[in-house]
Amino acid sequence: MRKITIAIDGHSSTGKSTMAKQLAKTLGYVYVDTGAMYRAITLYALQKGYIGPNIAKPEFLIRELPLIHLEFKHNASKGFSEMYLNNTNVEKEIRTLEVSRYVSQISEIREVRQKLVLLQKEMGKKKGLVMDGRDIGTVVFPNAELKIFMTANPEIRATRRYKELIDRGADISFEEVLENVQQRDFLDTNREFSPLKKADDAIVLDNSTLSPEEQFKRTLALVEDRINTA
Ligand code: DC
């Protein structure tokens, strides 16, 4: 069967990665979580003290970008790929609220985006790929056969994210999570380089009231349609 490229963009905590993973598994496609790449660079900047409360030294980070090696390695027992930063598994560390707090600041640096977009384009050369992020349908794969733009009401997204963090043992309030979601929406959509924006030919999926099953069913129907017609 003909393979296509599927670009999934949208707001934070809309379930993009859950859906992208599920799609990739069903179709036998490769899944790439580009947010993990921006998160890994943010973790690097935090570890080096280039970003933090009242600290912002982007020039140091930019200088060291060639030294940052990112790789996804498949974890067979978990059934998904994990992010490695300079050969260390950082899958857990990149999901903390601390990284979420600074990731929008790091992802607005033009040189960071240039490095990651190049890597992402390389990963997608062979098709048969589901990639999720913020600029996949607009910048990374403007010719993707299927583009989905996921969104949902901010309170609903914060509720989902809060539950996830609490389940992972985080000590955090709902208000902090909601503030982070709203702040990231603002920064992601208002940054100068590759802001989060729906591609003209993307299909909007608002999942505020959709069940994950219903959402998946609709998306799979779109994929089948594109495979047969594109
Ligand atoms: O998908 P996520 O929430 O893990 O992404 C983390 C941050 O990375 C998000 O707030 C914006 C940034 N990002 C980006 O700017 N471009 C992408 N393609 C993916 C993520």
* Tens digits of residue pLDDT in 187-216: 989 989 889 999 999 999 999 999 889 999
Specify the pLDDT at position 230: 64
Residue 134 DSSP label: S
CA of 10 to the centre of ligand 1 (A): 9
User: What distance in Å separates the CA atoms of residue 17 and residue 14, rounded to the nearest whole number?
Assistant: 8
Q: Which residues contact 152 (CB under 8 A, 6 or more apart)?
A: 11, 13, 14, 15, 206, 207, 208
* Tens digits of residue pLDDT in 82-121: 999 999 999 999 999 899 999 999 999 999 999 999 999 9
- Which of 92, 107, 110, 161 is the pocket-test mutation for ligand 1 (most atoms within 8 Å of CB)? 107
Q: Give the chain's length.
A: 230
Q: Domain limits of the chain?
A: 5-229
Overall CATH class of domain 5-229: alpha beta
- The CB of 138 under 6 Å from ligand 1? The reply is no
CA of 224 to the centre of ligand 1 (A): 27
The model carries a pTM of: 0.92
